[in-house]
Structure 1
Amino acid sequence: MSVNATTVSAGEALGVLMAGWAAQKAGNLTASWMLHGRPGVGKTEVVQSLAHKIGAELYDLRLTTIEPQDLRGLPYFDHARAKTVWYRPEDLPDTDAPAILFLDELTAAAPALQPTVYGLLQERRVGRHRLPANVMIVAAGNRVEDGAIAYDMGTALSDRLIHMIVQASADDWLTQYAVPAGIHPTVAAFIRTRPDLLETTEASLRRGQMIACTPRSWTRVSQIMFSVPDRALRQVMIAGTVGTAPAAEFALLADEIAATVNIDQMLASTRAERQDLYPTSLHGLTALVYGLVGAVRQDTLPAAIEILADMRGLARLSQHGLPGSELASFGFELLIARALENGWQEAFAHSDAYAAYAAERRAAGLP
């Protein structure tokens, strides 16, 4: 059966779950949630981000690795009462602090396990083990048409959940995930210029190819870029992660960026010295923006502000037809969000470069 629910980005799914948590805390809604989506689109990352944002402990329960009795617990005989009682399994939250019970791979779990999950999703209990009121239940899984191991979800299980379909979105991934997660600037620049290659599972299945691009695989490419300096070895790993064709295209961009972008040098240079350090390609400038936002610290924030502010009117960029103003504005959006997250916003109030940049935008009638 198809999942006739709303399709959302990972960032939108996080917003819905945050609202659900707020409603649960207020005592207005106690529900269990289900994230459907292709492998690697970011379902697990959504739940991890939710736990981080609400300050909850995450109990990650992979349903493909357990049996029904694992949820019930271990029985023992109480001789005083002449009864069999059950030890509570440690995988179930038993805490007064906020907690998330994450039932991952729900649609891949054996059908024999589903009846045990029914009570957990609806009545929030297994046997006599009840979940505390401060526990939020979120499940996730692939659909049958996603090419992963999955069973159709029966109506008895489906009716106990609020469903969302999570779909990869390049804009959402870049702003909501890539910058906070410290994704390598070359990967971020590549996805910004080739958003169609963020997620290619459907196309790969249609071509009969095993390897596809996904947000998860690009995260792995980022890790490879940070940890493997040898280009030839790195290229074999990347091809084995996203496929040979995307890897070949990515390698060309990576070479270009490596030759033209040096974040540390720009941050350490004076404003006058930086004028000749700006890359003169769209890929290079895009990587500079993402690299700058990812690398900035409180002590280097003033220099980062200057770099973005000067990008707006740099003559050598306009001579190459590069959108320095647009990239500067985009970079400031990311940089301000990073500063607010870390409590560094005072740097903007004391920056002459940002004051001049803001005045120039106001004079042009821009917000």
Structure 2
Amino acid sequence: MEFEREALAVAVTANLPVILWGAPGTGKTSVVTALGAAAGLPVEVVVGSIREPSDFSGLPVLRDGGTWFAPPRWAERLAAEGGGLLFLDELTTAPPAVQAAMLRVVLERTVGDLALPGEVRIVAAANPPEQAADGWDLSAPLANRLIHLDWTVSAEDIAEGFAGGFPVPEFDVKGTAGPAAVAGAQALVGAFLRVRPDLVLAVPDSPDRAGRGWPSPRSWEMAARAVAACEHMGAGEAVLAKLVLGAVGEAAGFELLSWRRNLDLPDPQTLLNNPQARLPERLDRLHALLAAVVAYVHADGTADTWERAWTVMAQVARTAPDVAAASARSLARSRPEGASLPDSMLELAPVLRSAGLMR
């Protein structure tokens, strides 16, 4: 259970909505409330089986001559605190109408006409439908908004917990990855999807599979944020695998992890300082490298870095003009104020014309 606990802590730190799947009585509620207490976060527990759709979509009331969808008290308390941990328990006992009302809460942090603070973390828990009282499969739209973690316990876990207390992961909710790291991870995932475009969207064809993690642009974005968070926090490969597979499913997730493991790319900053360095020969690696360079330039925001990036683009264009064209379009859009057009762009004239950036 060690990796599951750490994966949960990483998800909460990175503000990624996560759901714990496990049999009744395995301590899911206890670990979430303990996690909130350890992080100093107020915890609101909302049990799906005893809620109505209006508990998430708001109750319509007249206000100032119009209709106001009033939020429930649990949402008002989280808003007043400025953050916290919302624990949605027993999701598979919530009927489809209630699950549908939860969609905006999980994705947009909106309850009725109340916008929850961005610092509200969301953790859910569910029993497999066959083990839940009057259980329902999780709807595909709701499942695709969550990272799915299997919560299992062993006799050794329980024995050690009874003897010395059950451990709670240590983490800092303010110690998450910055925008540059997230952009770099998104560039990495984007480069992978160029190689495997068939994995961008793969909606499962059965309710039980649709109720877990599956590939979509939304879940790939969560996977990218998980990659950035794990790299920033120094989490191991086992933790990263649980989060990525929990976001996009096993088949797509294993492909991304294997592809990432075999990339062995130079650091974008190192390459910009030495643009004549040897570049990868494989096209998928070139896509990944240039995407990382563009993400780094965008996050850096300085004219000098933007200008130096065109030297790298020109070098790639000599052997792989199609790869350079795709990244040149993104680089041109991120031109900082005051940046001049470097001489290296002249070498890219044919490429820029093919990308629609030059006449």
TM bin (shorter chain):
0.3 to 0.5
TM value normalised by structure 2: 0.47
Structure number with the bigger relative contact order (C-alpha 8 A, sep ≥ 6) is 2
Return the index of the structure with the highest Cα Rg.
1
TM value normalised by structure 1: 0.46
